[in-house]
Chains A and B, each alone.
Chain A
Amino acid sequence: MSVQTIIDNFVKENEADLNTLPDYSGKDFSSDQDVRWCPGCGDYTILKQVQNAMPELGIAKKDIVFISGIGCSSRFPYYMDTFGMHSIHGRAPAIATGLKTSRPDLTVWIITGDGDSLSIGANHFTQLLRRNVNVNLLLFNNEIYGLTKGQYSPASPKGMVTKSTPYGSIDNPFNPLALSLGADGSFVARAMDRDPKHLKEMILRSHKHQGTSMLEIYQNCIVFNDGAFELFTDKKTRPQEAIYLEHEQPLVFGKDNDKGVRLDGLNPEIVQLGDDYSKDDLWVHDEQDSTKAHLLSKFFEHPPNGEGVQFPRPFGVLYAIDRPRYDEGVVAQVQLAKETQGEANLDALLQGNETWVVK
């Protein structure tokens, strides 16, 4: 008898369900639990956009799993009417790797925050990206520890005064996108809570990408770090401070789309569109160009200090390439062994190569 797992049978039994995917709405993905984030927390918008995006995935609820670590954002799975696990601090990528590798049929989402995945879980975060496990990771970045009531995080800017840094933080913060690119992430993108339409678009892009999708989401902590991303989220300053990336489109920003980013060799510069420069002179975004993705990730100053050239902060997909996925490789090896090594004969295995008989 070949090893036919109960899970395989289970999937088969449920195939009928798969074929008749219900006509979901966002509400169908809302669990019966009361949402308990602080009023006005950016997490609410993200939850809503994830719930709104779910019906568009074309995946049955039963095949979706949300796995989180610890922190405010990590309560997220409790509010999704899918399978979910609220696990331990920093380890969601490792749990998701075990789940996805053993169950490639599932759609797995990791919910994490800047504390969860950039300090205690930074190892797992980078290893996940390196392996390129086919999961989606939503990094809720609020640049603060909220659940423990207001200590600085590895994403907090230098000089930030918090409960644990009364004289200002002297820690150099992580640049999450540069870190992700450095770890060979195959999909690296950024969105913000205050632009729900773009956020939903990015959530759907994350799902569509095969491999680890790393979507950083700027999320306002109304209690401990209110306004951290105001420059990008405020409608007045956003046009100057944020730039939305689109594949094969020139890098244009500004109040009336009057500015652009141009490349002089590999040196980016901001130019005024009009007499001297037209859109044709600008840097055209290419999601598959890793060198340029690195350049874009460096459009990151904390806080914008007004010295030197002030590049706008990029939002959208910085980088997306197709490369082999760890979970698929694992499954292929197991499959190959089953196909080429003959029947899995337990008696032969127990017997080994050399035996003797005692009479």
Chain B
Amino acid sequence: MSTTDQVREDVTIRFAGDSGDGMQLTGSLFTNTTALLGNDLRTLPEFPAEIRAPQGTVPGVSSFQLQFGSTRILTPGDECDALVVMNSAALKANLSLLKKGGTIIANTAGFDKKNLNLAKYPEGINPLEDGSLSEYEVIEIDVNSMVKEAIGDMGLGYKDEDRTKNMFVLGLLYWMYNRPMESTMDFLNQKFGKKNPQIADANIRVLKAGYYYGETAEIFNSRTQITVEQADLEPGTYRNITGNEALVLGLVAAARKSNMPMFLGTYPITPASDVLHGLAKHKKFGITTFQAEDEIAACASAIGASFGGSIGVTSSSGPGIALKGEAIGLAVMLELPLVVLNIQRAGPSTGMPTKTEQADLMQAVYGRNGESPLLIVAPKSPADCFEMAFEAVRISLEHMTPVIFLSDGYIANGSEPWKFPQEKDLVDINVEFEKPRHAEEDAPFMPYKRDDRLVRKWAIPGTAGIEHRVGGLEKEDVTGNVSYDPDNHQKMTNIRRDKRDLVANNIPEQDIDQGNESGDVLILGWGGTYGSIKTVVHQLRKEGMDISHAHLRYINPFPKNLEKLLKGFKQVIVPEINDGQLVRLIRSEFMIPAKPINKVKGRPFGVSELKQEILDLIGEEQAVIS
């Protein structure tokens, strides 16, 4: 660390460029390096749904935001301290997210007449030249010619040269924020080294050129390097992980700890496809992945596998879950294990595939024909996807029932440091199949006979003496034969509901994440809003407010103590990235006047906006009381 270093508690940076500029990779590499330094961090990748939207235009801009710090970091940051823009469209799309006084690093090659036109700046206007950026510190670099200088002698084609641009800005930011280049160089060597050592070499040269430019260029003489110290995380060994990666590992771990084969039936859909890509690699753990012809077949195949004694899993996002609805209902009727992963995105219909939302909760609870109760779990952060995926499998197997796992695009693609567990730390999941029977000696097999948790036995084909038929028609209690008897239907409907409710005995009680067990205000959240709520509640408590935070990870059934806990607070506020769904469930289930805070803009709550909304709501309430 040089003496001119400036030490900061936390920093938010944002890389923005054209979809083809490699901003997601740049962001991920910066994230990995930062994680290895021991900073806490959260990321927010944002990209268009189109693979290559028209080049140079605002809709084609792809961005990656990252907050890192020496304190606990729980959100990707509201506004950024530094914004990298590879072209004028990137500036136009992202300037509003930059703090006043923040730093813009602009690639001037992306501000030529053609690019300015594509970004739809008025004729003759260049934001770098017209004084409109006077409130910011602007660092202008012609990255294209820097790249040319660094590797022009290597004889690469224009395209290959151009593709290394992102490494220049990455190198520059490594210098600015005092980070080592080794991990990125290792990555480049691994990715290109064997097949194409020249490309690896070119990228490394450009990376270094960016770093050394920061060190030597006059433009930076007035600046100091910024240092962010290691965060004060719980002791242990950490890795960086995204939500979808953690989800995949949670499934693999659950398969291992239950000693069961797993079968994923799925169909590609944003933002859930990474679950398929991830699981497809882990065949040696006894995992089969099946890319079906459609969402319905995906779910149906998982049910078929589950009937045969595998952990049936199906993954999708909202539109796909809508298609699976009938099949999920079949699994409810068959009382077979099934794990349904919904990585939510903005809807309705196709909506905004790459943008986050939490608007499928009601679909998960009610979105099937008939009374069709099932279980719902929701991870609160990228790393929590591991534990909740494991839990989804555990309770599905232990209770012979479908479980919906509600993640969302924000936590699925976002990343954070994860203190990963070891196999020995994970609980065993006990699965017992129905045993073979002998026709002469044993009583006939009753497929819908239940234990005291109302759970029937998993009776798989290949087991002698228990041949039986299941199906979507109403079942007679105990025998499982088809029945249209009115009293039986009432009874079975009640049983399926009670069976769901009894799962509350097998999940943890709801805890308070922060604050007192009772008091003035409780902020009740679920899913990806965790980081924002936690940060806001922390700030408000520091300011002296009596406010607590509880975060639901088990939604159907609710934890047993939830009602008591909620009723210990004068006010319950439920922030959600939807138009008010959990809040409605809470109101109708517990008859309390819970208040919503809602937003649907395809992005998570900003800390300052959420704080203001909470203060406004509490203010209103106090005005009414006084």
Partners in one complex: yes
* A→B interface (CB under 8 Å): 3-7, 10-11, 13-14, 17, 31, 33, 60-65, 67, 70, 77-78, 80-88, 91, 93-103, 105-106, 123-124, 127, 330, 333-334, 337-338, 341-342, 344, 346-347, 349-352, 354-359
Give Cα A333–Cα B235 distance, bound, in whole angstroms.
40
- Judge whether A85 and B334 touch: CB under 8 Å: yes
**Shortest distance in angstroms between B461's beta carbon and chain A's nearest beta carbon?**
4
- Judge whether A123 and B312 touch: CB under 8 Å: no
- Judge whether A82 and B38 touch: CB under 8 Å: no
Contacting residues, chain A, for B422 (C-beta < 8 A): 347, 350
- Judge whether B285 and A344 touch: CB under 8 Å: yes
Contacting residues, chain A, for B183 (C-beta < 8 A): 354
Contacting residues, chain A, for B431 (C-beta < 8 A): 6
- Judge whether B460 and A10 touch: CB under 8 Å: yes
- Judge whether B252 and A346 touch: CB under 8 Å: yes
Mark interface residues in B129-155 (1 if CB within 8 Å of A CB, else 0): 000000000000000000000000000
Question: A82-B467, A88-B326, A349-B282 given as contacts; is B259 within 8 A of A62 (CB)?
Answer: no
Residue of A nearest to B230 (CB): A358
Of B38, B304, B481, the contact of A356 (CB 8 Å cutoff): B38
Residue pairs across A and B with Cβ atoms less than 8 A apart, 8 shown, are A78-B469, A83-B468, A88-B326, A93-B297, A102-B305, A103-B305, A344-B284, A356-B238
Contacting residues, chain A, for B433 (C-beta < 8 A): 6, 10
- Judge whether B469 and A85 touch: CB under 8 Å: yes
* Ranked 3 nearest A-B pairs via Cβ: A86-B471, A98-B304, A98-B301
Residue of B nearest to A4 (CB): B259
Contacts between chains A and B (CB distance < 8 A), count: 244
Give Cα A292–Cα B260 distance, bound, in whole angstroms.
47
Question: A88-B326, A346-B423, A354-B239 given as contacts; is B304 within 8 A of A99 (CB)?
Answer: yes
Of B36, B285, B309, the contact of A346 (CB 8 Å cutoff): B285
Among A31, A342, A346, max chain B CB count under 10 A is at A346
B32 within 8 Å of A (CB atoms) = yes
Given contacts A10-B309, A354-B239, 19 further A-B contacts (CB under 8 A): A6-B431, A7-B460, A61-B464, A62-B467, A67-B304, A78-B471, A85-B304, A88-B472, A97-B292, A97-B297, A101-B301, A127-B297, A334-B286, A344-B256, A346-B285, A347-B423, A356-B36, A358-B38, A358-B237
Give Cα A4–Cα B255 distance, bound, in whole angstroms.
11
- Judge whether B260 and A359 touch: CB under 8 Å: no
Residue of B nearest to A126 (CB): B293
- Judge whether A17 and B467 touch: CB under 8 Å: no
- Judge whether B436 and A13 touch: CB under 8 Å: yes
Give Cα A96–Cα B302 distance, bound, in whole angstroms.
10
Contacting residues, chain B, for A81 (C-beta < 8 A): 467
- Judge whether A355 and B463 touch: CB under 8 Å: no
B610 within 8 Å of A (CB atoms) = no
B253 within 8 Å of A (CB atoms) = yes
B156 within 8 Å of A (CB atoms) = no
B545 within 8 Å of A (CB atoms) = no
B396 within 8 Å of A (CB atoms) = no
- Judge whether B235 and A359 touch: CB under 8 Å: yes
- Judge whether A95 and B301 touch: CB under 8 Å: yes
Of A63, A97, A101, A349, the contact of B462 (CB 8 Å cutoff): A63
Question: A17-B436, A87-B471, A102-B308 given as contacts; is B260 within 8 A of A6 (CB)?
Answer: yes
Give Cα A355–Cα B236 distance, bound, in whole angstroms.
10
Question: A78-B469, A85-B334 given as contacts; is B293 within 8 A of A124 (CB)?
Answer: yes
- Judge whether B288 and A350 touch: CB under 8 Å: no
Give Cα A334–Cα B281 distance, bound, in whole angstroms.
10
Mark interface residues in B422-465 (1 if CB within 8 Å of A CB, else 0): 11000000010100100000000000000000000000111111
Contacting residues, chain B, for A349 (C-beta < 8 A): 249, 252, 282, 285
Of A64, A88, A350, the contact of B249 (CB 8 Å cutoff): A350
**Shortest distance in angstroms between B478's beta carbon and chain A's nearest beta carbon?**
14
Contacting residues, chain A, for B249 (C-beta < 8 A): 349-350
Q: Which of B276-294 contact A (CB under 8 A)?
A: 282-288, 290, 292-294
Of B265, B309, B326, the contact of A103 (CB 8 Å cutoff): B309
- Judge whether A62 and B465 touch: CB under 8 Å: yes
Contacting residues, chain B, for A60 (C-beta < 8 A): 464
Give Cα A217–Cα B413 distance, bound, in whole angstroms.
51
Contacting residues, chain A, for B293 (C-beta < 8 A): 94, 123-124, 127
Give Cα A136–Cα B116 distance, bound, in whole angstroms.
63
Give Cα A284–Cα B289 distance, bound, in whole angstroms.
44
- Judge whether A7 and B259 touch: CB under 8 Å: no
Give Cα A252–Cα B8 distance, bound, in whole angstroms.
92
Contacting residues, chain B, for A7 (C-beta < 8 A): 261, 308-310, 460, 462
